[in-house]
Chain A
Amino acid sequence: MRHVAHLGIGPVGFRIGSDWRGPIAQLETLYRDYPKPSIPDFSVHLFAARPWRKYLRPSVMIGGDYTIPDAAPLPLAQGLLAAEMGMNLQMALAQRRYLLLHASAVERDGKAVLMTGISGAGKSTLAALLMARGWRLMGDEFVLIDPATGLAHGFPRLISLKNQAIAVAQAAMPEGRFGPLLPGTPKGDIRHLVPDARAIRAMAEPAQPALLLFPRFGFDAAERPVPPSEAFVRLTQSSTNYVHLAERGFDALTRLVQSVPARAIDYPDTDSGIALVEALA
């Protein structure tokens, strides 16, 4: 690979190699304040499907230690998204040390609020807006639970804002550092937001999980407790490596749902969503 970036996010190190300079330059700019570990845990490769596709209608294939067969390439203009997807893919398929939950998380006073839900539930938006209100952002995509301690480790990669969430976050954080607008991706318009200095500075500090939230966007405001068994089932569904971790995963997840209260919240707009989270936390 001609172009290479090293990048540490939370407890995980990546080496990202690319046939093109563009995606690496964007990563270097947006992740400029992140550590650069020399020994990576995972490798991501962005490469041309055929040699001529490096130049002619260039499109980016995502590879690395683990790959998904028949994954569709992205246009080079979305190379940054390809790099982010590549990192997520390695985590989802290869992470073995921590129980990986598909969730966003914020922390205040050492206590972490974990928010999980389907795509469109508002995980990233809520996490970004809570960051703007002084919470420490731990991540908008993955939370890592250490089976040995039960603590949550952050993974504060770039916050991936989609469609309407882009304008909402820009209004809340006019001074925020945003990546380029990526229109027409498979998930619509995407724009990345760089986590604030505090999130980056504290990214190696784990936190005690204190609240599990299952948000849903676009419904009348409502809130209900989620019993541990339902939380358990929903979190196994949001974990890509629960089965691989075997009994360590079972122990980590039973401990989490037995020790941390869980709530399902519905919210019609982001203001009421934020208010609900802050009232419960």
Chain B
Amino acid sequence: MTSYRAAGPETLRIIPLDALTLVYHRASGITHVVDAPVPEMLEALGRDDLSVDQLLARLSERYDLLDADPAALAIRLDELVEAGLVERL
């Protein structure tokens, strides 16, 4: 099963500002300005290897998710893999 983990903490600088959060990706030098749920996803993943369902379960424990949709979460994860903020294993 595909699993995911956040990019190494040494490669990311995460600065929450207000409703939005800045993520500086050291490997690419690109600054990402992200909205919820991206910071929450990165924090929930950490360096653990989680499947989409495991990540969704962890997010559901921590937050009141209104639309707990694994397909939507998988799309978000793929976007973050593309940006280099999440690793697919």
**A, B: real partners:** yes
Q: Which residues of A contact B (CB under 8 A)?
A: 227-229, 232-233, 236, 243, 246-247, 250, 254, 257-258
Question: Is A228 a contact partner of B17 (Cβ separation < 8 A)?
Answer: yes
Which residues on the B side are within 8 Å of A232 (C-beta)?
17, 22, 33
Q: Confirm or deny: B29 has a beta carbon within 8 angstroms of a beta carbon on chain A.
A: yes
Instruction: Give a binary string over B44-71; 1 marks a CB under 8 Å from any A CB, 0 the rest.
Output: 0000000000000000000000000000
Answer whether residue B72 sits at the interface, using C-beta atoms and an 8 A cutoff.
no
Determine if A236 and B17 form an interchain contact, defined as CB atoms under 8 angstroms apart: no
Q: Per-residue CB proximity of B25-37 to A under 8 Å, as 1/0?
A: 0100101010000
Is the pair A229, B24 in contact by a Cβ cutoff of 8 Å?
no
In the bound complex, how far is the Cα of B31 from the Cα of A268, in angstroms?
A: 35
Given A228-B17, A232-B22, list of 8 further CB < 8 A pairs?
A227-B19, A229-B33, A246-B29, A247-B24, A247-B29, A254-B15, A254-B17, A254-B22
Chain A nearest CB from B20 CB (Å) reads: 4
Distance A56 CA – B12 CA, assembled complex (angstroms): 58
Q: Is the CB of A257 within 8 A of B17?
A: yes
| B13 close to A (CB within 8 Å) | yes
On whether the beta carbons of B13 and A229 are closer than 8 Å, the reply is: no
User: B10 on the interface (CB 8 Å rule)?
Assistant: no
The tally of residues in B whose CB lies under 8 Å from a CB in A reads 12
Whether B29 contacts A243 by the Cβ 8 Å rule is yes
Verify B19–A233 contact, CB threshold 8 A: no
Q: DSSP majority for the A interface?
A: helix
How far is it, in angstroms, between the C-alpha of A166 and the C-alpha of B22 when the chains are bound?
41
Nearest 9 CB-CB pairings of A with B: A229-B20, A228-B17, A229-B17, A250-B24, A227-B18, A246-B29, A254-B15, A229-B18, A228-B18
Q: Is the CB of A236 within 8 A of B18?
A: no
Q: Using Cβ atoms and an 8 Å threshold, which residues of chain A touch B31?
A: 236, 250
A101 to chain B, nearest CB (A): 16
Structural contact, B33 and A233, CB atoms closer than 8 A: yes
Q: Which residues of B contact A254 (CB under 8 A)?
A: 15, 17, 22
- Chain A contacts for B22, CB-based, 8 A: 229, 232, 250, 254
B29 and A229 contact, CB distance less than 8 A: no
Alpha-carbon separation in the docked complex, A37 to B84 (Å):
45
How far is A73 from B29 in the complex, measured between Cα atoms in Å? 35
Chain B residues within 8 Å of A247, by CB: 13, 24, 26, 29
| Cα distance A246–B20 in the bound complex, in angstroms | 20
State in angstroms the CA–CA spacing of A232 and B18 once bound together: 11
Residues on B with C-beta less than 8 A from A258 are: 15, 17
Least distance between B61 CB and chain A CB atoms (Å) = 28
Complex CA–CA separation, A216 to B18 (angstroms): 24
Q: How far is the CA of A227 from the CA of B21 in the complex (A)?
A: 12
Q: Is the CB–CB distance between B19 and A229 below 8 Å? A: yes
Nearest chain A CB to B36 CB, angstrom units = 13
Q: Closest B residue to A249 by CB, please name it.
A: B31
- Expressed in whole angstroms, the Cα–Cα distance for A254 and B29 within the complex equals 15
Least CB separation from A242: chain B residue: B31
